[in-house]
Amino acid sequence: MNFEIALYPGDGIGPDVLEQAVRVMHRIGERHSLTFQTKRLDWGYEYWKQHGTVVPDGFLDEIRDVDSILLGAVGWPDAIPDHVTLSPLVQIRQAFDQFACVRPANLFPGLTSVLSGRTAEDIDFVVIRENSEGEYIDNGGRFKQGTPDEVAVQTAVHTRKGVERILRFAFETARKRRNKLTMATKSNAQKYSYVMWDDILDELKSEYPEVEAERMHCDAAVMNLVRWPDRFDVIVASNLFGDLLTDLGGILGGGLGLAPSSNENPTKEFPSMFEPVHGSAPDIAGQGIANPVAAILSLAMMFEHLDCPKAAEDVRQAVAAALAAGAKTPDLGGKLTTAEMGDAVLAHL
């Protein structure tokens, strides 16, 4: 089988971690008779220095027909405001209807969590983040900017279609796992949008009788994830809450350097995108020490989506074996460089 994969390395540590994921991709290809045509998109800060924009006009058309997009990370806040550099990322998610953002958080055996005493058995949950609407809709404005009378309006949009489809996706994910679903909202404070989420959850429950579905306010969910991570299986949340919960998930699962993510268009009408949860990490960029595991595990999620589950499993097992053998970059307390960590994973393939 042949796939066309768009590579969007981005900024900071993005190109470094993506390079290791691409090495793993080609090795997996040899093992599973898969071939990959890659299309490299040198967009971001470097592109902006030459052209004054971070992506070309019509950039979506350049990736509309690929099978998948692999992204490193974007953002170079010292030079360009984040909402400019990051806008293409959010546009890709929305234009290609990548409505399901799946972010597993699990602690690999042999690693230590920031939560003392917690092991791999305690930390194994997945956040399903609504990825196409909610608080990330580009809708609002600033008025009388810079004056004492300034007003900023930014509206969130929650549609019945959008909420229902992400809740169904979450119920179905729970069915494949431990049949437990927690919906994190703030329906005690936001009485229109999140009360609609509550209503739709209640309507769907009878279709998934085997799933124990509970509501939790997002503030309480944050606290409970710290004190009782073992009680969570699948968490579903809006776009913004899902974003916040998954940085927490990343650190509980051993660190952001390990946390993968998908942006899935489940109907496969458009390409899906796979990327680490983490950003461009300017604090360690250029040092060659970023952990590439989050990017490599995002590649595993891509294989899953492309219906190559054995390839996905091989990648996950190679990562688990490398970590169990003690391979660690500095974020995990080790000394390996990004490329050496890539070597350690490849050694198990």
- Binding-site ranges for ligand NAD (CB under 6 A): 13, 17, 73-75, 77, 82, 86, 89, 256-257, 275, 278-284, 290-291, 294, 331
CA-based nearest residue to 236, from 251, 252, 223, 249: 249
Q: What is the DSSP string of 320-333?
A: HHHHHTT---GGGT
Minimum CB separation from ligand NAD for residue 74, in Å?
Answer: 4
Q: Which residue's CB is nearer to ligand NAD, number 207 or number 283?
A: 283
90 contact, one of ligand IPM, Mn ion, ligand NAD, none, CB 5-8 Å limit per kind: ligand IPM
What residue type is 331 in one-letter code?
Answer: D
Minimum CB separation from ligand IPM for residue 144, in Å?
Answer: 27
Per the structure block, which two tokens stand in for 219?
Answer: 């503030």
282 contact, one of ligand IPM, Mn ion, ligand NAD, none, CB 5-8 Å limit per kind: ligand NAD
184 contact, one of ligand NAD, ligand IPM, Mn ion, none, CB 5-8 Å limit per kind: none
Q: Which residue's CB is nearer to ligand IPM, number 4 or number 247?
A: 247
b/e map 307-328, b = 16+ CB within 10 Å? ebeebbebbbebbbbbbeeebb
Residue numbers at the binding site for ligand IPM (CB under 6 A): 86, 89-90, 243, 277
275 binds Mn ion (CB under 5 A): no
Task: Look at residue 177 and give its three-state secondary structure.
Answer: coil
Strand bridging mode 234-237 / 180-185: parallel
Are residues 213 and 201 in contact, defined by beta-carbon separation less than 8 angstroms? yes
b/e map 188-205, b = 16+ CB within 10 Å? eeeeebbebbeebbeebe
Minimum CB separation from ligand IPM for residue 56, in Å?
Answer: 20
229 contact, one of Mn ion, ligand IPM, ligand NAD, none, CB 5-8 Å limit per kind: none
Q: Pick the binder of Mn ion from 243, 264, 275, 304 (CB under 5 A).
A: 243
Q: Which residue's CB is nearer to ligand NAD, number 218 or number 294?
A: 294
Are residues 240 and 207 in contact, defined by beta-carbon separation less than 8 angstroms? no
b/e map 6-37, b = 16+ CB within 10 Å? bbbbbbbbbbbbbbbbbbbbebbbeeeebebe
Q: Which residue's CB is nearer to ligand IPM, number 90 or number 115?
A: 90
Minimum CB separation from ligand NAD for residue 19, in Å?
Answer: 12
**Contacting residues toward Mn ion, per CB under 5 A:** 243
